[in-house]
Structure 1
Amino acid sequence: MSDHTPRTLLIQGALVLTMDPALGDLESGDVLVEGRRIAQVGTALEAPAGAQRIDGRGMILIPGLIDSHTHMWQAPLKGLGAGLWGTPDYQKHVFPLREKFDAVDMHDACFAAGTEMLDNGITTVLDFCHNTMTPAHAEQSIAAHRRTGQRVLFSYGMLGGFSTLAADHPWRLAQVREMAHEIGSGGGDSLVRLGMALGSLEYSGLELVKTEIELGRALGLPMTFHQNPPAQIRQLGEAGLLGGDLLPVHANLAADDELDMLAACGAGISFTVEGEFGGGRAMNIIGRAHRAGVTPSLGVDIPSRVALDLFAQMRLTFQVMRAEEALAERITGRWPLARHPGTPHAQPRHMLEYVTVNAARAVGRGDELGRIAPGLLADLVLLSTGPYSMSLGDPAAHVAFQSTPADVDTVIVDGQVRKRDGRLVDLDRADAAEATRRVRERVLGKGVQAARAAA
């Protein structure tokens, strides 16, 4: 990846969606980057001689996309979960394969995932790594993240083998302490930060999870956890363990009082809509969370089933939310649909907020990421509007409904240009594909064709 030699970069003439309430949208705006951070946002900005200049005319500049929940080790298993039907299918066909991954597989898988995500405009990801089967698994995952240069919250998975959860707990806690000392949860110029992916309550039990939360808070680490069975948020709240540093994922069955608990402590929820909706889960949770003041963010979740594409997640999330609102209207007899105060609630711009402003908060970086404003870290994406013209109306709707990964022209992470004119600068797509091939060969062996046929 590129070095971090201080440099100046000026993006000129783009339609800038700052996602910052004080700055709004700029029809033809400039953004000046000095070193790792945004120095100025405005029009007709000046840059010193020798500054790198990028012509943004005809393009949309947005904050780098942020994925708040993905299991990156599953990237080489793409398609294996395509036809899953419910959790039992996942636990039978996909999840058990983690036991066949060694540390080298973890490096290759995370490298392949990170490269593709950067190519697709995802500058930051919460890697929920529930495949830390040995200490080396975690070490090699982090090494791969450093190699790609993606901004990563590496959420160390406390869920190991189900039969050895309690026995493995001490060495996992010890490694988290060691890694927290080495890379920490913040500060400095490291693109990789440490978090914790807590053991699931239904498997680990409250006592083990409580120990993990207490350690995470002592070390200042952001924490996240799968919230699948009902009432787990209430259980954590009654135990005095909820906090804004705790990010539930899915939470499809959360009751209104649980949402009130999350809102009271400033927490959000990460929704992985394509997997949840396709898995038959209840989907009115997103609208209920938003209305309750629990900030939604979005993640891909399992690349074994879902593409590493946040544009697709935005589109589907909007349609799911609108469908839920329409159902509520029909049930109350308001049909055909007509606008009235408060309905419809979901708007196109909310979708872009979910993968920028809200997601930055979800990964513990709300004060530094998710907006284009002076002083913030320079994670930026330029989108081509294609040969067939820009959409009318809100430009955020163009991003949410018209844009695809193919439109990602330029990607900047930490002030460094990582993709330009549609081509990765210092990563090779072929290297990522080869890493995927190696994992499949080692994990599936001669079973690759059979796995493809079964999927």
Structure 2
Amino acid sequence: MMAPAALLLRGATVLTMDPALGDIADGDVRIEGGRVVAVGRGLPVELGDTVVNARGMLAIPGLIDTHTHMWQGPLKGLGAAMWGMADYHAHIFSLRGRLSAEDMHDAAFATGVEMLDNGITTVLDFCHNVMSPQHAERSIDAHRKTGQRVLFCYGMLGDIPTLATDHSWRMAQVRHLARAMDGGPQALVRLGVGLASLEYAGLDLFEEEVRAARGLGLPMSFHQNVAGQIHALEDAGLLGPDLLPVHCNPALDAELALLAAHGCGISFTPESEVGDGRSVRVMGRAHRAGVTPSLGVDVPSRVALDLFSQMRLSFWLMRNEEAEAERLAGRWPLTRYPGVPFIQPRQVLAYATVNAARAVGLGDELGRIAPGCIADLILLRCGAYSPSLGDPAAHVVLQSTTADVDTVIVGGKLRKQAGRLLDVDRREATAATQRVRARLFSA
């Protein structure tokens, strides 16, 4: 897909998320060759420009989801009444073997279109449903069709009883895909590795996957659900900035310090984790420890494909935790003093932009609206009545919804404008969802 010669966004309040540029009221953004080339006020219109009127809107970097199992999109609502991980394994995870390669294609396409519509320009698809080589191939085909930016993390966790025996063909396919796929920063679909969970694979198999992925230069992610795993990875010499753990709810402060020392981030999925009954206090502890937090939807079988709700919930959970600590310390009613409250809306917006770009291995390329950055950004309407007073980042985190997403740009190409998707069709995505459901549940 060729980017247009030039796009000029005019008159937005631009939240660049770049500390050197800050916010720019009545700002313009010029895009050429898929990258931002200028940000400022009163940029000139040049011959051949496509001009987008952004007055009254907020321009922010495209939202980046760092952990979602996209094959679950057509299962929306199936997990609504789940109670803990036992229900998840019984009612959702157990369906993996019933999805064909074509189901995987339809699921990835439908989920990607909905995410794009909702302002999520980049996603780490942790695809832990690669039950055959064709499952991976058709998922990648679907990602190329949506126009969303995707880090396809090839899932090494197949059928648990045959995990070790299936390992060789999975690694062979990963090596083949690594040779065949463009790994450059502007590639819309890049390859990563979704490592098999330590509690199922064991340390030896997990280490083999990590060392193979590092040899291929591939970013990695894994579910961190069991206490002590981070210490085990440190002892094995496996921690590094290319390794993104997810959840980390049982992590001790000493383990968070290890992650920070190795430049690791953590992908938090607050709605999913609250729904599982996990402690989410780790978010605030990780932030204070110097770990780079980012956010994901995780399981669209019960959680909306919506990063605005993840940001909002994250902010209020961390604020409530701070308030509870103040009450327990006898500092009540709440008063401000240096360092309290700690978490601010702009920091949470960074979770879904700047931090998330780093988590998917594109920290120098994405997550900001600044000259030289890849032009992934969205325009948000400020609501039917009036924009919020004060910090526009607070409006994004605490007031915005997916209904406010007016325009979506990926790699300098308009993917949605004036509330209407371009090049992909909501009806086609809906039909793909219905095909998956018919094949799964019609019998």
TM-score, normalising length: structure 2: 0.99
- What is the match of residue 380 of structure 1? 377
Q: What's 1:51 paired with?
A: 49
User: Does residue 1:194 correspond to 2:191, yes or no?
Assistant: yes
Other-structure match for 1:164: 162
Aligned counterparts of 2:327 and 2:383: Cα–Cα separation in 1: 38
- 1:24 aligned partner, one-letter code: G
| Deviation of 1:185 (Å) | 3.2
Deviations 1:359-406 (A, max 9, x none): 000000000000000011000100001221110010001001111111
Cα drift, residue 231 of structure 1: 1.0
Q: List alignment gaps of at least 5 residues for structure 1.
A: 447-455
Classify the secondary structure of the residue corresponding to 2:318: helix
Tell me if 1:92 matches 2:90. yes
Q: In percent, how many aligned pairs have the same letter?
A: 65
Instruction: Provide the C-alpha distance between the structure 1 equivalents of 2:192 and 2:283, rounded to a whole number of angstroms.
Output: 24
Distance 2:80 2:271 in 1: 11
Per-residue CA deviation, residues 204-250 of structure 1 (Å, 9 max, x unaligned), is 00000000000110001000000001111111011100000000000
The partner residue of 1:314 within 311, 329, 334 is: 311
From 37, 40, 56, the equivalent of 1:39 is: 37
Matched, 1:81 2:79: yes
Q: Confirm or deny: 8 A CA contact 1:185 1:220 kept in the other structure.
A: no
**How many Å separate the matches in 2 of 1:77 and 1:409?**
27
Shift of 1:443: 1.2
Q: Which residue of 1 aligns with 2:253?
A: 256
- Counterpart amino acid of 1:199? A
Distance 1:394 1:234 in 2: 40
Per the TM alignment, residue 167 of structure 1 is displaced from its structure 2 partner at its CA by 0.2
Match of 1:450 in 2: none
Residue number in structure 2 paired with 1:141: 139
Partner residue in 2 for 1:272:
269
Whether contact under 8 Å (2:67, 2:123) holds in the other structure is yes
What amino acid maps onto 1:16 in structure 2?
A: V
Distance 2:157 2:333 in 1: 48
- Contact persistence 2:5–2:48 (CA under 8 A): no
- Name the SS of the counterpart of 2:175 in structure 1: helix
| 1:26-75 deviation line (CA, Å, top 9, x unaligned) | 01100000021001001110132121000110000000000000000000
SS in structure 2 of the partner of residue 438 of structure 1? helix
What residue identity is the alignment partner of 1:353? A
Q: Residue 185 in 1 paired to residue 197 in 2? A: no
Contact 1:185-1:195 at 8 Å conserved across structures = no
Task: Figure out how many residues of one structure are paired with residues of the other and give that number.
Answer: 443
Please list, as runs of the form range in 1=range in 2, the aligned pairs for 1:34-433 lying within 5 A after superposition: 34-187=32-185, 189-433=186-430
In the aligned structure 2, how far is the partner of 1:145 from the partner of 1:298? 20
Give CA deviations for 1:64-109 in whole Å, capped at 9, x if unaligned.
0000000000000000011111110100111000110010000000
Q: Which runs of 5+ in 2 are unaligned?
A: none
- Cα distance in structure 1, aligned partners of 2:223 and 2:93: 14
Q: CA RMSD in A?
A: 0.9
Whether the aligned pair in 1 keeps the contact of 2:181 and 2:190 (CA below 8 Å) is yes
Q: Is the 8 A contact 2:64 2:123 kept in 1?
A: yes
SS at match of 1:325: helix
**How far, CA to CA, are the matches of 1:327 and 1:227 in structure 2?**
26
CA deviation map 1:156-179 (0-9, x unaligned): 000000110000000000000000
1:283–1:324 CA contact under 8 A, matched in 2: no
State TM-score, norm by structure 1: 0.96
Q: Deviations over 1:257-309 (max 9, x none)?
A: 11111111111000000010121111110000000110110000000010000
Report the residue type matching 2:154 in the other structure. Answer: Y
Matches of 2:85 and 2:17, distance apart in 1: 36
Residues 5 and 283 (structure 1), Cα distance of their counterparts in 2 relative to 1, 3 Å cut: closer
Q: Name the aligned partner's letter for residue 105 of structure 2.
A: H
- Contact preservation (8 Å) 2:349, 2:393: yes
Separation in structure 1 between the aligned mates of residue 297 and residue 427 of structure 2, nearest angstrom: 23
